[in-house]
Structure 1
Amino acid sequence: MNSKVKSFLELVRLPNLFTAMADIMAAGWIVSGLTGHPFSIELVFLLLASALLYACGLIFNDYFDYEIDKKERPERPLPSGRISKQAALYIGLSLLPLALLLAALVNVVSLVIAVVLTLFILLYDRVAKHNYFYGPLTMGMCRLLNLLLGFSLVTDQLIENWWISLISLVYIFTVTFLARAEVGEGTYPVRVKVMATIVVLSSLAVLLIGDWDNLYISIIAILIFLIWTFKGIRLALKSPTAKYIRKAVGTCIVGLPLLVAALATPFGGLAGYLSVAVFMLASYLFTKLFAVT
């Protein structure tokens, strides 16, 4: 692989892009699964728009953190000089309008949501990520808006289903906040228990959504999600230290596509689950080649 291309894919954390597309795929099934399937050229536009917005967020993140990364992560593409800071800015500014154009090709609602998502991404990259409360909250809002972008595939379903995206917001906010909260070691056991509770409650919420005809498939999907997340949480429950809490948080965040795949299952059945879960599989395979942090 060309070294410049590899450096660019490392800059945008290629494995992470698939997690953003999983949101769109799941949302597509939620708004159209009961009446058909979400597959269309508009869905492709939203998948690409979501991936590009996520990529822009990671590019601007490294752009704003350039001085910090020179000291703490000198191996990254920007501080190592493999990609210049100016080139990264140009790439980000080029991809951003392309993402918005793709959203606009779907409908006006998609464009508006994409613009708002862009603002939250920039807010996180420039300011919010440095705050232990607003950072996780803004990150959760980005996930919520990404799901709403998928819901905009069928605009008359957006108002009816928008609240489902709150599951993703609460999940990401709580898990990330518990990892970053400025509290002492004495609270570590409580933080792990709260994290485990949120994972379980998120799973129960999924089971209460949608068509009960797919209940058995939904249960299997949730069990897969719980097995994945608790392989990290279990260690943190046994030994609630900063090391294991970080690992538990990482496992929960990487497992988010499994949660949204379960969200798609009541509406799309097995096809809905597999078409979303495949994005996590792609993400996992590419982690062998590219870093995700």
Structure 2
Amino acid sequence: MGILAYVRLMRPANIVTAIADIMMGFAASGALVTVAVWESSSFPSIALASLLWLVLSTIGLYGGGVVFNDVFDADLDRIERPERPIPSGKATVLGATMLGTLLLALGILAAGQVSVLSAFIASAIAACALLYDWKGKHHPVLGPVNMGACRGGNLLLGISAIPTAVEQFWYLSLIPVVYISAITMVSRGEVHGGNQFALKGAVLLYGVVIGGIISLALLPQFNVLYSLPFLLLFAYLIFPPLLKAIPAKEPAYVMQAVKAGVLALIAMNASMAAGFAGWQYGILVLLLLPVSRFIAKKFAIT
């Protein structure tokens, strides 16, 4: 029962993508004002502290949420995924429950260091994650929406670095809601093979996400020219694996499409972050992608 088994339960490569959510929300909040921040000799310490607390919060929330996913799936995994830490005996249900509880508590407490609103959003994310782990994932329609709401809430958590910005930019959370809903639809075929209707529906939803990001050009705070290169990279990362999975419907291809979709979250966030805070900040967010890819070679994403 080694420590690595419990780290594996946390899916660390996925956690890096959650940090990208926070960085994007932080940019949209106005805590960074376009590229001018890069020309300044001093970065506001309060803003930096808020960012670090929110990053710590999302590590706890995401880690705790996925740990509880394995807790609730322990019996099913003994049949479908016996190599997972709990069914293989490398981790226990009790140990995973304790770890998940501590991580969720850490997420809420860290968010509370920023504002009461941040703590409320973190609590809502934790509740939403537990609902998904317990019941939500078993529902064909509400399950993907439930998972998407967790990710949308995470983006709101980043925006809450400036609490008043949440009311102004709440609708940005709809983009990850739609995107994660699409990935969740695709992931249903990881074990037994993909459903063509779900896979084709995901292609449509991916298109809606890209259109939604482009539509942010209507905002005076958003520069779509900074966003475009990152958006093209995002499209390049998500469409080929998904289109390959549609005719084949093989579990291996579906799993690759899911993995690509999860990691591409970083490129999606970079495309929006660049639009709000300049291409330099977009690159900073995008640098999380090779980190996540490296970790994904050591620890499973799904």
> What TM-score do the two structures reach when normalised by structure 1?
0.88
Q: Which amino acid aligns with 1:195?
A: A
Cα distance in 2 for partners of 1:51, 1:179 equals: 22
Cα distance in 1 for partners of 2:291, 2:103 equals: 22
Cα distance in 1 for partners of 2:10, 2:257 equals: 24
The match for 1:58 is: 66
Conservation of the 8 A alpha-carbon contact between 2:185 and 2:198 = no
Conservation of the 8 A alpha-carbon contact between 1:22 and 1:280 = no
The match for 1:278 is: 287
Conservation of the 8 A alpha-carbon contact between 1:211 and 1:266 = no
CA shift for structure 1 position 191:
4.5
Q: Which amino acid aligns with 1:86?
A: L
CA RMSD across the alignment:
2.5
Q: In the alignment, which of 261, 266, 281 is matched to residue 270 of structure 2?
A: 261
The match for 2:9 is: 11
* CA 1:111–1:69: 2 relative to 1, 3 Å: same
The match for 2:40 is: none
Q: In the alignment, which of 240, 258, 262 is matched to residue 231 of structure 1?
A: 240
Cα distance in 2 for partners of 1:83, 1:196 equals: 37
Q: How many residues align structurally?
A: 286
Question: Unmatched 5+ residue regions in structure 1?
Answer: none
1:84 aligns with 2:53: no
* CA 1:272–1:59: 2 relative to 1, 3 Å: same
> What TM-score do the two structures reach when normalised by structure 2?
0.86
1:216 aligns with 2:234: no
Deviation readout 1:256-293 (Å, 9 max, x if unpaired): 22111111111111122122212222111101111111
The residue correspondences of 1:62-141 to structure 2 (distance < 5 A) are 62-141=70-149
Q: Which amino acid aligns with 2:238?
A: T
Question: Unmatched 5+ residue regions in structure 2?
Answer: 38-43
The residue correspondences of 1:134-213 to structure 2 (distance < 5 A) are 134-177=142-185, 180=188, 188=196, 191-209=198-216, 210=219
Cα distance in 1 for partners of 2:160, 2:221 equals: 24
Moved more, 89-98 or 52-61: 89-98
Deviation readout 1:16-42 (Å, 9 max, x if unpaired): 111111100110011123366585111
Cα distance in 1 for partners of 2:160, 2:277 equals: 17
Identity of aligned residues (%): 32
Cα distance in 2 for partners of 1:23, 1:96 equals: 17
Cα distance in 1 for partners of 2:6, 2:70 equals: 12
Cα distance in 2 for partners of 1:236, 1:223 equals: 21
